[in-house]
Amino acid sequence: MNDYAKLKDRIAIVGVGNTAYGNFPDNDDYGLGAEAFRNAIEDCGLEKNKVDGLLVCRIPYYARMGEILGLSPRWTVPLPPHGRMSAMGIIEAAAALEAGLCDYAALIYANIGRSRRVNYGGEESPGVWDPFGFTSPGAAHALMFQQHRAMYGTTTRQLAEVSVAFRHHACLNPDAVMKQPISIDDHEAARPIVEPLRLLDYCLINDGAVCVIMTTKERARDLKKRPIMISGIGAREAYETASIANYDPECWYHQARDVGRQVYGMAGVGPSDIDTLMCYDNFSPTVLFSLEGLGFCERGESGGFVEGGALKVGGRLPTNTDGGHLSNSYMQGWALNVEAVRQLRGECGARQVVGAEVAQFCAITPCSRSIIYTRG
């Protein structure tokens, strides 16, 4: 249990919106963010001038975003363009709403990395290990998967199950970038990037934006759609090896365990109660580490757990039903939170998890977070 317990079922996500996902060199961060905001406002039916809280992530200048949207908030938080920020932002907004720092918070994320040709390594992110040719978050995950292979016998064919399941979901999602089904053999034949990882273990880099509108349980009743409640929160950082960015010698197992204890304790549910999991998937191994740390399987057994399409809709744990970062869109966790909301509303069409009542988001990273959502 944690000190956030008084936040249980107090704060709701009431509106969600996104842009199309792809390559939009004629647009920019603000244009994408504005479109996602307009869609989220339309989704919940809120008068936009009632928005008095603004959280932006990966948007160059919060004040320009506010100017464009005609907002005069009394609460603003800008977050850096790191993948681990989505649930951090949602939790901050929940605390601010509960404290009365704002009444309606709009959280806007935009990414124009595709058009800007972002590489996530080399000269654009100088580091202490550059003289040895070590760079990129993907390489850090390759280091961890290599350890997992050696320690537990996890195979790349098991790892492929993650990418194959999420691509299957992307094929069911009209918004998703990737629409070609893939097989385990396709994964094995893909070109290596940083071995043991291959192209299909890496997330997409694409343009797009996402917006989430949040308010208190009481205010949520006056809006258009069924509110989706924040029922559990868990958080723990791992900074001890931060100079090897995105690497943890234990694959964040201990932090994830702590996050699980918090989030399940607060929500009063356990892993077996989760109808659908939205799991931060910058690289496919993250999903294996998350399943182990949160207790969906024992440590070292995630490879066996995901075999046979376990993560597909209809499988034992439908995960990243929108296709995730690997195959839907690189919205750095934000779109996965939106997908959790849409699943609990029953809006997911061909990829709907029938009767979904409890959805969990997790990001097992140097700043691990998890949120459990339920129907209000």
Partner 1 sequence: MDTSLPAKPRPHINAISRGFWENCRRGILSVQRCDDCGHQHYPGAPVCPSCLSSRQSWAPISGRGTLVSWVRFHRAYWDSFRADVPYAVCLVKLDEGPLMLSNFAGDAPAEPTIGALLEVVFEKVDSDLTLPKFRVRD
Give the chain's end-to-end CA distance (angstroms, integer): 22
Minimum Å gap between C-beta 303 and partner 1 is 17
CA angle 231, 233, 237 (to 5 degrees): 175
Rounded to whole angstroms, how far apart are CA atoms 31 and 69?
Answer: 10
CB of residue 143 to partner 1, shortest distance in Å: 4
Tokens encoding 345: 């509303």
Q: At what angle do helices 156-170 and 284-294 cross, to 10 degrees?
A: 100
Measured CA to CA, the distance from residue 218 to residue 230 in angstroms comes to: 14
What's the min distance (Å) between Cβ of 184 and partner 1? 20
Q: How far is the CB of 291 from partner 1 (least distance, A)?
A: 20
Annotated catalytic residue 330: yes
Nearer to partner 1, 28 or 250 (CB): 250
Q: Which is catalytic among the residues 4, 104, 280, 373?
A: 280
CB of 334 to partner 1, least distance (A): 26
Closer by beta carbon to partner 1, 101 or else 244? 244
Query: Which CB atom, from 148 or from 345, has the smaller least distance to partner 1?
Result: 148
For residues 344, 53, 370, 283, the Cα torsion angle rounded to the nearest 10 degrees is 90
**Of 245 and 353, which has the nearer Cβ to partner 1?**
245
- Closest distance to partner 1 from the beta carbon of 201 (Å): 12
C-beta pairs of 345-353 under 8 Å, 24+ apart in sequence: 345/225, 345/226, 345/228, 345/375, 348/321, 349/172, 349/174, 350/172, 351/169, 351/172, 351/173, 351/313, 351/321, 351/322, 352/313, 352/321, 353/275, 353/276, 353/313, 353/318, 353/321
From the list 120, 247, 330, 373, the catalytic residue is 330
Shortest separation between residue 45's beta carbon and partner 1, angstroms: 47
Using CB under 8 A as the criterion, which residues of the chain lie in contact with partner 1 when the complex forms? 119, 121-123, 126, 128-136, 139, 142-144, 146-147, 150-151, 191-196, 241, 243-244, 247, 249
CB nearer to partner 1: pick between 142 and 279:
142
Cβ contact 244:135 at 8 Å: no
* Closest of 185, 166, 118, 109 to residue 309, by C-alpha: 166
**Given the complex with partner 1, which of 1 and 151 has the nearer CB atom?**
151
Query: In the complex with partner 1, which residue's Cβ is closer, 135 or 158?
Result: 135
Q: What is the DSSP pairing of strand 208-216 with strand 358-363?
A: unpaired
Give the Cα separation of 156 and 184 in Å (integer).
Answer: 9
Strand partners, 232: 372
Looking only at the bridges linking them, the beta strands covering 358-363 and 367-375 are antiparallel
Would you call 280 a catalytic residue per the annotation? Answer: yes
Q: The tokens of 236 are what?
A: 């723990």
Query: What residues are labeled active site?
Result: 280, 330
